[in-house]
Amino acid sequence: DTAVSQTPKYLVTQMGNDKSIKCEQNLGHDTMYWYKQDSKKFLKIMFSYNNKELIINETVPNRFSPKSPDKAHLNLHINSLELGDSAVYFCASSQDLGYNEQFFGPGTRLTVL
Amino acid sequence: AQSVTQPDIHITVSEGASLELRCNYSYGATPYLFWYVQSPGQGLQLLLKYFSGDTLVQGIKGFEAEFKRSQSSFNLRKPSVHWSDAAEYFCATDNYGQNFVFGPGTRLSVLP
């Protein structure tokens, strides 16, 4: 049983399109995150949610909008995709906020053409 | 803001040799520190973590790390590297309980 799952694993799309990436965790965790890993492997936090409430919203274009329908899911919607959005997006979860191990999903490789 | 540095972008070792990957952090108080490994095309797997107590922590796959406050370091070690250890290694610290701040990563190559 996968603890943190993401779909799709690969996403190839044209500039200007709107796409979504889904994330689900079956660990019963309260907190979920989205990270972006760029072509140089650098990982940076984008958003975090705790009990469906937005906690962190880093300097991310407002074309990116997270949505958490329940504690087990945190989806990422991206509007008007740009070439620079190409990256690997990782979802993660932790028991709650505060100094806990984070469990990562397998990543979604987004390629914008 | 918290920051983590990993001075070595790429390290190559021979199989069976010992390994040390460096990590330095900036933090005023006692940090919470983690090492993750990312195999090609995979997600991140936790190797070990330090919260408090014994400064030498043991992890999975034969890895260990030592926390040295005086040097602001949390270096990862393994006495004998296996070919399957070739991967990207990330050091991370917890940003005041909100999110992780990752280092830039160190790519490990293993020669047969």
Tell me the mean pLDDT in the region B72-85.
Answer: 96
Q: Which CATH class is domain A4-105?
A: mainly beta
pLDDT score for A23: 97
Domain borders along chain A are: 4-105
The alpha-carbon gap from B82 to the nearest alpha carbon of chain A, in Å, equals 23
CA-based nearest distance B43→chain A, Å: 4
Residue B9 near residue B21 (C-beta atoms within 8 A): no
In this prediction, residue B28 carries a pLDDT of 64
Q: Check residue A99 and give its pLDDT.
A: 63
- From A48, A90, A101, residue closest to B99, measured CB to CB: A48
Which residue matches tokens 């040799």? B17
CB neighbours (10 Å) of residue A35? 25
Which residues from B are below 8 Å from A when comparing CB atoms? 32, 34, 36, 38, 42-46, 49, 51, 88, 90, 94-95, 97-102, 104-105, 107
Residue of B nearest to A58 (CA): B99
Helix (H, G, I), strand (E, B) or coil at A8: coil
Q: Which pLDDT belongs to residue A63?
A: 95
**Domains assigned to chain B:** 3-111 (2.60.40.10)
Q: For B104, which of A42, A48, A101 is closest by C-beta distance?
A: A42
Residues of chain A with pLDDT under 70: 1, 99
Chain mean pLDDT for chain B? 91
CB contact under 8 A, A102 and B43: no
CB A83 within 8 A of CB A54: no
Distance CA(A63)–CA(B33), nearest Å, equals 32
Q: Is B34 in contact with A33 (Cβ distance < 8 A)?
A: no
| Nearest-5° Cα angle at A96, B49 to B42 | 55
Q: For an interface test with A, give the residue of B10, B35, B37, B44 to mutate (most A CBs within 10 A).
A: B44
| A-chain residue closest to B102, CA distance | A43
Strands A108-112 and A10-13: parallel
Mean pLDDT of B86-109: 88
Is residue B90 predicted with pLDDT exceeding 70?
yes
For the segment B37-73, what is each residue's pLDDT rounded down to a tens digit? 999 888 899 999 998 888 999 999 999 999 999 999 9
